[in-house]
Structure 1
């Protein structure tokens, strides 16, 4: 054979998803040819990850006049260029020929216009074969790249559940993903027909992996088959127990050659395959009789009853009712949920009766959901397609939608489930439907679902919670609070995470914020110790929100960030939306406007499609509070007005009153006094029936903002006295800031300094930087130098009030905005600004901004943003 030479044509290979770094490296190699230079790039990867596709991309990107040559047999490198030399699958060459080629490549001078792209199967680290050569290892595609490839392969027609399972099964291997798609019917891809188990397709790829095992000694192959079979009863990634393999007849001497070939790694008495497709190849490519014999041998020596039953199920050839029954009976607590799910799925596969099979699939899906594996849970539910309506299927589907789907869909699924289920599981389905209605902000739907929950005589805390929430949302507040407090009476004896989370929610409704935080902390500890994994993001969300209500914003942010990572890992985007809203609120206190905007945008993006009104309301409140911190009360009032006022666009019923003090402050400063009075009146009615420690002080502050001048000082002093009896450093500092602003505006500057100084200290303790900056500005305007601040620089010739106006104008504020921020008239700002221009010798706002920026009087936004990262 001779080398084949090609000149690039007009056809381009298909788009390579998830290979940006690799494409850049290949393009750089080809680009060197255009400058008369050459180079070498080696691509290594296991089979199916796209080595050949990158070679085709390289040949396609060659400029006209730069040919490419494909070396398919051992031969000397061409001496003339410019030329791209492609050597695909060099691992198939004889060892001596490959070594000679690699030696030549090390000596290839960079000034020779010959570029060599060489690919070979994954080599063992430390072998030295590729030393001295630029090498790039191709890893598996991430889920987003695999999803993009699948969307292209199916023209977007794949059912989301089917797509998620195909991506999981392909393990990031694009060639396998193509094979799996090609092996399914249109009905299976669209989710109309259940998927086969196991999925067909990819046999030729598995043959490539199996080829690494075929050359091993017989005792190594026998050990690997038993290790692969043992993996059927082990958790993912746990490997196989070497002692079990030996009891089943494996020779210990078989481990060394398998390790030397890079197929497995032995550690801690367990055998781990180096790639999941290697284990799959061993099982799928072994003759059926040998595979069943391996499972039977393992079953005979397994000391764990459930593991023995799983191995017997793998060895079974058809439906087996007794074995299926035994598996289902063994899949109970305290077994981990993932193990229970696997056993129940095996039992379902051995079950001929359609109804019983659906029961077991629904139970397996619920166990996967509790294990934090929604992809597997949905795939198991998909196997029930075509079966009669089943309450368990609807319940699990609804709970999955509650974590990752429109809340309205979750509610309907759970209501349907309640009609089909026996009383006990129906009760929990109805509670789930109520949770969906709560997330939607639909108080009537929440009451409807909870009213349908049968009386829970056997569970007094749950019954107290049900009755209390129904009474509160029906307007019988005193009765409801009494019931909810009964729910809290049993809190010390409660260890169930779900019960603790309900108790925390009840505590927030009655205003006992510290109790809610304690319940959230205990729920988190219980989930971490005992599970279920599915509750971890929710427990962190409850705790973060409670800490936010308690004014511990830094701790709230830490727990919310951990919860966000857990929600993404477990697949709970709806919980992630709520956590983004919590993080936006924390950032609005800390003064990180960029973080607040980013988290609020993320919350809004997810809340809209899924109808999550509570998260959306919290996000808007966060942005409005950031507007207030930045001195934009008009913007804050405009954002909050629809949420706190009656009407179709009102915010979530559990959040509206919490946002009212913020709205009243913004509305008064923006001149929307009538709306502020109306909101304060409603807030007063709410404060009368809650034990929220902050509500009385916040109400007094609202009244101070609306009081006539002769009563304002006394009203603020009353509010501060109430703050002394309640927690909340941040809210107290806000009241002190407003009081100091009012005193300074009345020209009582000496009196204003004490509350302004206290506000500054309070904000600094909370880490509320933007609010602290406002306090410093007010102190400067009141004639007091603030410790640690830079000097006025070119503004030294100005009065304190002129300095403040100059800084605001230089930052881009209009005269009217400056007037609102400083609580002065528009004419006052006009007058002072003319004097500022004259004193500084500038003629425009632009010149003023440049003057202050050059002196360091204005913040550098790039540095400020970088400091927040």
Structure 2
């Protein structure tokens, strides 16, 4: 179980599975993770049958089978015969008999404390229950800081992970009655690292005044005493010579912030030979040593006397080389031998950090800042460390470092750089209005010292305004960078407003929007973030200025600026040249930021092949360089490019990976956009439950952080799901406010993409007059050439609104334009609507041909509900019933089929949920429907049913 799954969700998921097929889990985790609470909740939540619940006691020297007899007495059963194998078989027989009437749950807390014979009997019975599919579940808890006993080692393990930040915050609020300062709460969460017991210990350690933020907190917050209170008992009995090795591992981990350390380095520093056995609390894997429990490692380090800690660091530093990464590590260890400011060492660390990967560079710069006495220099180094933290995908750490960088004595350039970086962090994981203000503040502070950085800040502000759906602020920010200067007295652009001309531009009448207002700078028309979304000098580098005294921008940035400016003015003819050069220059190198610009420009041009190529290379470059924060953005570009090309299943694959990386790197805003993509993909496949789940997830963050674009995409997905399910009136009502002019119109970069759905919904609902005006707006967008699907969609819209006898030629022209683009879904929709039109005019043979083409198209792209519509129309036109399906599996929806195949491969519900980026509750829901649809009662039957067509090659 990870921080993305709450303990209660894990319990209910387990219990559901144990109630149907039985099985066993060894529940483990680090000290204080809540194993006992987990088991008590499981025992109290099990309603399907009896629960046998016992707690293990000190029993290593107890008589054989004494633990098992304790369990059987608690269950009111007779004791089994003596002997490990016989006892295990007897226990299995009792469980099978008890499970005949109803499922049985066996809960054994601290099973490692039982005698070996009892553990062997438990392990044998659990293995038999699992193999036989008996409806008996066994949950056995053991500590995670030591190996699982060999008698239980063959059983599946469920490791309880740390609390998610939101769950941990709720624990603090519950315990304190909400009387805790937000800053103090954040420090508590950081120090506890999701460990429930440590979190509670830290809360109880503070006085009411400290909790309220009126008194300073103890430093360090999680000291040796607090850590020992949770994990100290786990070190009982460690020999003194082994204690030195443990401290050396802990010191190596503490210095770098990594979870493990080089085993050879540690052994040389500790004077421990490789042949000596390791303490059981350590794990050796691929030449790296780590603690089985990170909390235990922290307790070892914090609990050691200061001089012993410094000695360990001196020994480690002495064993390291003085160049490359080894040089940085040596300096880091030297830094932990000092007890006060060390300016010279800090300067060495800052210089050496340049050759380290982002995580280690962040650690080195953070330590350099801590050793720096000069306040301005310390602020500068904290800011540099925060930038590396952001690149490494640690936004919360970046914000903490930026808080430490605050200093009135720091020059404006340092304070401006910190605000520029804060804006980038908030843009990825915070309210975008706050990000916009941080960027604008940075622009003011940097204007006099670093024009390029100031331009980067104003472009960041434009990006934040874009995400918020505020075109006025977007244009004002671009004007501040010199990218765009409105004519005197010209109104701000935006939905329903004019786009100002500046000599070579065009003015569009009120009530219409230049489609370029919908494609600007990357995030436009499903394209990611506007240029200027990254840290100083990175993706957010300046796009240049028209001012005479401005430093000339690089060729790539100048072209990006010119192309963006032309697009905003609606001059797509003038945008093509500069944007094409951006694409080509980005693809000529291997830097992730230029490649992301190239992908953005490709999306603006409608060159989806180039956008996909640049996005894929940007993703590879980000992974190679360790820039984890850039991966979700590259995956977003790829997903949007595939959506626009009509390949929604590929879009779904990219978005699922993007969601995982965005969640892993703490970028909730990026995760919201990936949820929106997944909702759009699921709306094509007709998976209402999946659509609803992703829509809810996207809107949850979008509403809290002001992400108008993600919200509009999600709402469009919900409406398209309505349309696919044959509910055009609901779809029209949902889409109407998004696409019609007015204050509720959706994001200015997205609303026109939903127009074809709205037109179809209104026509099918008998209200075509509601869509007439928006079709003319959509015609402007289709004429821009940036969306390959738009020309055919426009003709289809006109056919839906045309007089009955005039629609046929328009449908035929639309189908001709579909031949120019890839993707089956949009063409199949046109074939379906044309087939309906033909059938209603009694041209049944032509209708059957068109509806057959539509059915094939929907089946090819997995649009299940849409295919059902086409089949129903075909039958209504007199077609024979459809051909026999490819076995029973053909009755499953695409998502159900994916889940069935993963389950047949042996995946657990949690593993299926993670692979599909959905909740386990959704997997449980679909699995119940799969069982009902196929008429199976267990996973074993499902495996047989899935494997049969796979073996014969008859994949449905």
Give the TM-score, by structure 1 length: 0.76
Quote how far apart the aligned CAs of 1:370 are.
1.0
Q: Does residue 355 of structure 1 match 2:360?
A: no
After superposition, residues 532-681 of structure 1 pair within 5 angstroms as 532-681=627-776
- RMSD value, Cα: 4.0
Quote how far apart the aligned CAs of 1:207 are.
6.1
| Count of aligned pairs | 739
Secondary structure of the structure 1 residue equivalent to 2:735 = helix
Quote how far apart the aligned CAs of 1:606 are.
2.2
Which residue of 1 is the match for residue 475 of structure 2?
Answer: 447
Rounded Cα–Cα distance in structure 1 between residues aligned with 2:207 and 2:875: 74
In terms of mean alpha carbon deviation, does 508-517 or 446-455 score higher? Answer: 446-455
Q: Note closer, same or farther for the CA distance 1:192–1:440 as it changes in structure 2 (3 Å cut).
A: farther
Which residue of 2 is the match for residue 227 of structure 1?
Answer: 249
Equivalent of 2:554, from 448, 453, 459?
Answer: 459
Rounded Cα–Cα distance in structure 2 between residues aligned with 1:585 and 1:408: 26
Which residue of 2 is the match for residue 410 of structure 1?
Answer: 435
Rounded Cα–Cα distance in structure 1 between residues aligned with 2:802 and 2:39: 77
Q: Note closer, same or farther for the CA distance 1:591–1:242 as it changes in structure 2 (3 Å cut).
A: closer
Equivalent of 2:340, from 318, 322, 326?
Answer: 318
In terms of mean alpha carbon deviation, does 476-485 or 715-724 score higher? Answer: 476-485
Q: Note closer, same or farther for the CA distance 1:587–1:325 as it changes in structure 2 (3 Å cut).
A: same
Contact 2:732 2:762 in 1 (8 A): yes
Task: Decide which structure has the larger Cα Rg and report it.
Answer: 1
Rounded Cα–Cα distance in structure 2 between residues aligned with 1:416 and 1:864: 61
Rounded Cα–Cα distance in structure 2 between residues aligned with 1:719 and 1:600: 31
Quote how far apart the aligned CAs of 1:308 are.
0.9
Equivalent of 2:176, from 154, 167, 172?
Answer: 154
Rounded Cα–Cα distance in structure 2 between residues aligned with 1:704 and 1:109: 74
Give CA-to-partner distance per residue, 1:323-358, whole Å, 9 cap, x none: 11111111114x211101111111111112222212
Q: Does residue 137 of structure 1 match 2:142?
A: yes
Contact 1:223 1:255 in 2 (8 A): no
Q: Note closer, same or farther for the CA distance 1:510–1:109 as it changes in structure 2 (3 Å cut).
A: closer
Rounded Cα–Cα distance in structure 1 between residues aligned with 2:737 and 2:39: 58
Secondary structure of the structure 1 residue equivalent to 2:284 = strand
Give CA-to-partner distance per residue, 1:57-83, whole Å, 9 cap, x none: 99999xxxxxxxxxxxxxxxxxxxxxx
Rounded Cα–Cα distance in structure 2 between residues aligned with 1:699 and 1:54: 57
Rounded Cα–Cα distance in structure 1 between residues aligned with 2:30 and 2:802: 75
Equivalent of 2:466, from 427, 434, 438?
Answer: 438
After superposition, residues 754-765 of structure 1 pair within 5 angstroms as 754-765=849-860
Which residue of 2 is the match for residue 10 of structure 1?
Answer: none
Which residue of 2 is the match for residue 798 of structure 1?
Answer: none
Quote how far apart the aligned CAs of 1:177 are.
1.3
Which residue of 2 is the match for residue 863 of structure 1?
Answer: 933
Rounded Cα–Cα distance in structure 2 between residues aligned with 1:204 and 1:99: 38
Equivalent of 1:372, from 368, 393, 396?
Answer: 393
Which residue of 2 is the match for residue 423 of structure 1?
Answer: 451
Q: Does residue 283 of structure 1 match 2:378?
A: no
In terms of mean alpha carbon deviation, does 640-649 or 180-189 score higher? Answer: 180-189
Which residue of 2 is the match for residue 3 of structure 1?
Answer: none
Which residue of 2 is the match for residue 688 of structure 1?
Answer: 783
Quote how far apart the aligned CAs of 1:374 are.
2.1
Q: Note closer, same or farther for the CA distance 1:179–1:219 as it changes in structure 2 (3 Å cut).
A: same
After superposition, residues 206-221 of structure 1 pair within 5 angstroms as 206=228, 209-210=231-232, 213=235, 215-221=237-243
Which residue of 2 is the match for residue 111 of structure 1?
Answer: 76
Secondary structure of the structure 1 residue equivalent to 2:653 = helix
Q: Note closer, same or farther for the CA distance 1:101–1:127 as it changes in structure 2 (3 Å cut).
A: closer
In terms of mean alpha carbon deviation, does 630-639 or 424-433 score higher? Answer: 424-433
Quote how far apart the aligned CAs of 1:863 are.
3.4
Q: Does residue 301 of structure 1 match 2:301?
A: no
Which residue of 2 is the match for residue 395 of structure 1?
Answer: 420
Rounded Cα–Cα distance in structure 2 between residues aligned with 1:58 and 1:154: 26
Contact 1:106 1:132 in 2 (8 A): no
Equivalent of 1:237, from 242, 252, 259?
Answer: 259
Rounded Cα–Cα distance in structure 2 between residues aligned with 1:699 and 1:563: 31
Secondary structure of the structure 2 residue equivalent to 1:685 = helix
Q: RCO greater where, 1 or 2, for CA within 8 Å and sep 6 or more?
A: 2
Rounded Cα–Cα distance in structure 2 between residues aligned with 1:751 and 1:558: 37
Quote how far apart the aligned CAs of 1:721 are.
1.8
- 5+ residue gaps, structure 2, are 1-5, 16-24, 46-51, 80-105, 123-137, 144-159, 482-541, 545-551, 886-928, 937-941, 947-956
Quote how far apart the aligned CAs of 1:283 are.
1.8
Q: Note closer, same or farther for the CA distance 1:190–1:466 as it changes in structure 2 (3 Å cut).
A: farther
After superposition, residues 520-539 of structure 1 pair within 5 angstroms as 520-539=615-634
- 5+ residue gaps, structure 1, are 1-16, 27-40, 62-83, 791-858
Quote how far apart the aligned CAs of 1:288 are.
1.4
Quote how far apart the aligned CAs of 1:273 are.
1.9
Contact 1:597 1:623 in 2 (8 A): yes
Rounded Cα–Cα distance in structure 2 between residues aligned with 1:476 and 1:60: 67
Rounded Cα–Cα distance in structure 2 between residues aligned with 1:98 and 1:423: 79
Contact 1:194 1:383 in 2 (8 A): no
Q: Does residue 783 of structure 1 match 2:885?
A: no
Q: Note closer, same or farther for the CA distance 1:123–1:732 as it changes in structure 2 (3 Å cut).
A: same
